[in-house]
Structure 1
Amino acid sequence: MLNQSMESSLSKWMTKLLRHTPDEFGLVLSPEDGSCTMNSLLEVIQGQPRWSWVQQKDIEQVIRNSEKQRFELKSGRIRARYGHSHDKITYVPGEQPAVLYHGTNKKALPSILKEGLSPMSRQYVHLSEGTHFATLAGSRRGELVILKVDTLRAKQLGITFYYAGNEVWLADYVPPECCSIWSPEE
């Protein structure tokens, strides 16, 4: 069983492999969903001297304990659910809830309220069904602000939402008129 520090380090390494630089380490991901076999991932991880001791049970522990549920293991294949910076992963459009949330920081707020939410260096804008994940995502970069996104209005404006799993939704863009500041009193 991994201690918390090793689990966190392994999670970051898996994120690098599955979301950002798979080619650099010879990991081939499916263009459809960004997945690979568990055995392929394990082979690449174990190929690094620092991680040669890692077993499948360690990867499964990381998946189980990931607060943001970044990874999905299904039918012997593993993938990062969202946040890829390599080839764009295709998601199926879904019927999103009427309201989604986005965590950001106070410094970015004026730009968002003027120009809307764009993916920046990511492939999609990340939204969540509840404020918990929005808080986790937004609290990393300064004073937290949570935005409430009116998805029904956005859909009327032609925005498509994609379900990435575990309460996470993605969009290519969210117009400014669909974003408002969320208050905990709501």
Structure 2
Amino acid sequence: MTIMSRDAVVTTSKLLSYVLRHRPDSIGLQLDANGWADVDELLQRLAEHGKPVARDLLDRVVAENDKQRFAFDAQRARIRASQGHSIDVELGLEPVQPPDVLYHGTASRFVTSVLATGLRAGSRQHVHLSGDVDTARRVGTRHGVPVILRVDTARMRADGAVFYRSDNGVWLTGPVAPRYLRVLDGAGD
């Protein structure tokens, strides 16, 4: 068994995020309509582009990623990113009813803009929401001093919004207008 450093797992996870979510063409890879790539072809293309990844490292990245960013198919022959694509893929998710409230973590420097214009998917296909405050806080912390926004999903649903839940538990939806957002106080809600 190969001993892999935590740094190798993190570096490989970032590489896979880039390739499987945003730029499969950067290594000459083509995803199918649902975002799947053949594992053997992925590993071959990575090696051809000077970024070799051993299969056991790939398996570890998929298994140990705390956000479960990647998934294998049942045969473990194909892999895809669970969500967060900036390229057009159809994840095959069915609409589901979310809880009445979800959360979004952002950096404090973005709050004024978000409260004025709402949440937008940006380069991604969907706005990403969290089911709990702690997850939203971790997301917001990646970008600076975190601020947690409470999202009134019950009202959004009543107004016709559609929600999906990715395989790793991230809630996905379209734009979130300012009227559905409220900054949480320090107590959490």
Q: Is the structural similarity TM-score above 0.5?
A: yes
Is the contact made by 1:103 and 1:137 (CA closer than 8 Å) also made in structure 2? yes
1:81 aligns with 2:82: yes
Structure 1 residue ranges without an equivalent (≥5): none
Hey, what does 1:101 align to over in structure 2? 103
Question: C-alpha distance in 1, partners of 2:109/2:126?
Answer: 20
Partner of 1:55: 54
Which amino acid counterpart does residue 73 of structure 1 have in structure 2? F
> CA separation in 2, counterparts of 1:34 and 1:183?
38
Q: Which amino acid aligns with 1:149?
A: V
Q: Which residue of 2 aligns with 1:65?
A: 64
Instruction: Tell me the CA shift for residue 106 of structure 1.
Output: 1.3
SS at match of 1:49: coil
2:21 corresponds to which letter in structure 1? R
Large movers: runs of 4+ above 6 Å: none
* Aligned-residue CA RMSD (Å): 1.7
Q: Check the 8 A contact 1:106/1:142 in 2, yes or no.
A: yes
1:184 Cα deviation from its structure 2 partner: 5.2
Give CA deviations for 1:52-74 in whole Å, capped at 9, x if unaligned: xx322211101122122211112
Contact 1:145 1:181 in 2 (8 A): yes
Task: Tell me the residue number matched to 2:29.
Answer: 27
Matches within 5 A, 1:8-23: 8-23=10-25
The answer to whether the 8 A contact 1:125-1:173 is kept is yes
Aligned length: 183
Give percent identity, aligned residues only: 36
Listed as ranges, the gaps of 5+ residues in structure 2 are none
Q: TM-score, normalising length from structure 2?
A: 0.88
The Cα shift of 1:11 comes to 0.8
TM-score, normalised to structure 1's length? 0.90
Q: What do residues 89-148 of structure 1 show as CA deviations (whole Å, max 9, x unaligned)?
A: 343211212211111111211222222111122221111112233223211222110111
CA contact (8 A) 2:106 2:139 kept: yes
